[in-house]
Amino acid sequence: MLKKLNFSLGLACVAFAALAPLHTAAQTKPPVKIGLVSSKSGAFSSMGVDVISGIKFAVEEANAKGGVDGRQILLAEGDDESNPEAGRRAAEKLARDGHNLIIGPITSAVSLAISQNLTRWDAAFFGTISKADKLTTESCNTRFIRTNHSDAMDLAMINQWVKNVPGNNFAILAADYVWGQDSAKSFEAAVTAQGKKVSLKLFAPLGTKDYAPFIQQLKAANVDAIWFADVSGGIAFVKQAADFGLIPKTPLIGHALVSNFLINATGKAMEGVPGNVGYTPDVDSPASKAFVAAFKAKNKRLPSDTEGQAYNGMMVLLQGVKLANSVQPEAVTKALRGTQVDTLYGKMTVRAADNQLLIPNYVARVKMVDGVLRPVIEQTYPETIAPPASPLCKM
């Protein structure tokens, strides 16, 4: 009996010895060091809270399951202060410190400032919110991957959606920087292509707090609806537009307007407002349902549109690490280029020509659901309507 026991123990020791090197190898793989750059202060700080929340949730969830590719995920944070120069400085510091897989900026201006420095910093960048076409056209970069909709993708959807938008005469109020300007051009092109017109275009400087002069002009224009594209000023504008009686008398149509952080801050002023949305808990896929269930279990609420898009970007980043079997920035983005990946929208493709993730697009309307106002998807447009990659992108 003693011999038998000793023999069994011997086999166990041999088995453990055989497994130990594998276990040790997994534990000694370099960690995934991610630099989270987002708006903790400045005009976009309200939205930044949700970006940070979505990314941290993804990291905590992945680490609880053992990390990715046998690697622990380490997160370091920087504040872009909602402006390009501060964003560039924050990203450079993180990259120089080894956290060179960057994610999290909101504004396209910040994203452009970071993207053009990736090779110099030996970094990679995953965009989850910024929409400006320039990021995937003349300023495209093999080390930059966008996991959210571009302006061009939104325009393709708007061209179809606007056919059924009531009214023939519109006004535009957009933020006076690259994304707002692109949005204004996109909407005007879509409207005029349908034989309708834009009789008033206004651009608000970034950081505007008093929208009274713009509201007076919009009221005087007597238009059928207003295209609004000003994320940083959305809360102030909606509140003031309601106070001055501009809305709901003149309907709003939103580009990135029907966002949870803005709805939550403006009471019932946005009820019934339609607009495009990047993600809602209504997205019908196994991955989305799992994410919503896990998020709700932890936070006792549904994830916001911004949290969902940030989480989706982390999903793609971590798959890049696994596919590359590496944390080297160039290897990670190279492994994803042209590849099908799992996303909150189902299996989707990172287009090889410009590193744009092709995903469905949505129109939602702000509605009361279970006592909470939130964007509810009304129309879904397939990823196949996205325009082809721009010839200006040279990779």
Residue 253 CA: distances (Å) to CA of 21, 91, 132, 188, 287:
59, 34, 19, 13, 30
Q: List, in order, residues 6 or more apart from 208 with CB less than 8 Å away.
A: 230, 233, 236
Q: List, in order, residues 6 or more apart from 249 with CB less than 8 Å away.
A: none
**β-bridge partners, 276:** 363
Distance of alpha carbon 44 from alpha carbon 352, whole angstroms: 31
> Could you give the percent of the chain with pLDDT greater than 70?
93
In the prediction, which pLDDT does 179 show? 81
Distance of alpha carbon 60 from alpha carbon 378, whole angstroms: 32
Q: Do 32-149+284-355 and 153-277 agree at the fold level?
A: yes
In the prediction, which pLDDT does 19 show? 42
Q: List, in order, residues 6 or more apart from 300 with CB less than 8 Å away.
A: none
Contact predicate 98/73, CB 8 Å: no
Per-residue DSSP letter, 42: S
> Could you give the percent of the chain with pLDDT greater than 90?
82
Residue 353 CA: distances (Å) to CA of 101, 108, 339:
21, 20, 11
Which residue's entry shows tokens 């708007």? Answer: 158
Residues 45, 46, 48, 52, Cα dihedral to 10°? 130
Q: Topology of domain 153-277, per CATH?
A: Rossmann fold (3.40.50)
In the prediction, which pLDDT does 104 show? 97
Q: Is pLDDT of 16 > 60?
A: no
Instruction: Convert the pLDDT of each residue in 265-323 to its tens digit.
Output: 998 999 999 999 999 999 999 999 999 999 999 999 999 999 999 999 999 999 999 99
Q: Is pLDDT of 137 > 90?
A: yes
**β-bridge partners, 373:** 368
In the prediction, which pLDDT does 27 show? 53
The ranges assigned to domains in the chain are 32-149+284-355, 153-277
Distance of alpha carbon 68 from alpha carbon 323, whole angstroms: 10
**β-bridge partners, 198:** 170
pTM of the model: 0.88
Residue 384's pLDDT band (boundaries 50, 70, 90)?
Answer: very high
Instruction: Convert the pLDDT of each residue in 186-198 to its tens digit.
Output: 889 889 988 999 9
Domain 32-149+284-355 CATH assignment equals 3.40.50.2300: yes
Rounded mean pLDDT of the chain? 91
Q: Is pLDDT of 5 > 70?
A: no
Instruction: Convert the pLDDT of each residue in 87-130 to its tens digit.
Output: 999 999 999 999 999 999 999 999 999 999 999 999 999 999 99
